[in-house]
Amino acid sequence: MQHKDEAGLALHRRLLEGDPIAPSEVAEQFLLPLKDYLRRKYPQTEPEMWLDAATMALLNYVKQPDSYKPEGKSLFNFLKMAAEGDLKNDLARHKRRTSRIVSLNHVALANLAGNINVEEEFITRQDVTSRLQGLKRYQAKTSQSITEDEPDRRLLELMQAKVRATAEYAKVLGIEHLPLQKQREEVKRNKDRLSLRLKRWEEKSRLQGQDHEP
Amino acid sequence: MSHKQDQKNRASELEAALGFAADKAARDKFFMSSALNSFVQGEKKNKAELAEYLEIGVEQLSRLALCRRPYSNEVATFRRDTTAIANRFEIKPATLANLLRRAETYEFNQNSVPSGYLMAARDYEDAPEGEQEGKEKEPPNDA
């Protein structure tokens, strides 16, 4: 990119002078080379992250052009470093988020306090749903349940039928006399407890080589 | 793959990348993209209609969107920036000023106005005929 230094420097000066066209020209000149650089350096990364990081670096630079000191390095090298920094931050954020979801999948089933975001809850619910489906297939095949406890068995049936009404679960638990909020808490506690049992059952059957998966 | 095909692919990759960047920039009032976005949303226009309004090609919109949005309480600065952008994209300056003013009106109505644009845009439009090219009629329903 040595040959572009002069052009880069000219663009940089125009940005400092407040030329309203300069941001667009900087993007036109550097966006793809930056993306290409990230693609080469981080080939394992999700493709949209290259462009995202390149874009963020460019937009930030054109807004704050004085963050670049021309004495140090070429504008392209400066932008490469900025884009790389943005990509690394994105990757770290992504990693933190992923590990949080994984740990929540373990913890939340044991004690779901309800303080997780919708996406995470959705993922957790998907796990439970998939286990319930596995249980259904297992029961159809073996005519066995994972519990001998009658109320638990009926609660599981409601969960399998995707019943969401608190009243239905409250009936089974015999807590209809309690205030609605209490009923909800109690229903949730029992559903979480059964979800955890389901998870353990799934792990146990996997260890024993039992086929409850499709 | 031929060299020509390579160039063509590269050009469309650039267009897509600029489009992506323009969309990102729409959330930031520093960029023209924010004004274009407010305008198309307020006027319920699509990109093709916006390009038609500005009398430019649709492929020019991303580049226009990535320009700095003219900002200033000073009419002269606003006029200078608007004229520079208009000249670069061969848009009538008054059309662009009108777009910026309307965009600002829509933003004002959504309580997110950056101060100064509206006044400068209005003063620009009120300037003597000789100082503007292609002055447009006032839109009927604007503030």
Of the ranges A162-171, A186-195, B69-78, B87-96, the best mean pLDDT one: B87-96
The verdict on a CB contact (< 8 Å) between B24 and A19 is no
Q: Which residue among B10, B18, B24 sits closest to A28, beta carbon to beta carbon?
A: B18
Q: What are phi and psi of B31, to 5 degrees?
A: -100, 150
Task: Please list every residue in chain B whose beta carbon sits closer than 8 Å to the beta carbon of residue A29.
Answer: none
CB–CB contact A18 B68 (8 Å)? yes
Averaged pLDDT, A26-54: 93
Residues 38-67 of A with CB under 8 A from B: 51, 54-56, 58-59, 62-63
pTM strictly above 0.80: no
Report which listed range, A13-17, A44-48, A158-162, is most confident: A13-17
Backbone torsions φ then ψ of B114, nearest 5 degrees = -85, 125
- Alpha carbon distance A130, A108 (integer Å): 16
Cα separation, A29 vs A7, in Å, equals: 9
- Note whether A23 contacts B: Cβ–Cβ < 8 A: yes
DSSP string, A117-180: -HHHHHHHHHHHHHHHHHHHHHHHHH---S---HHHHHHHHHHHTT---HHHHHHHHT-TTS-H
What ipTM does the predicted assembly reach? 0.78
| Contact between B96 and B54 (Cβ < 8 Å) | yes
Phi and psi at B68, nearest 5°, equal -75, 140
Identify the residue with better confidence: A56 or A202: A56
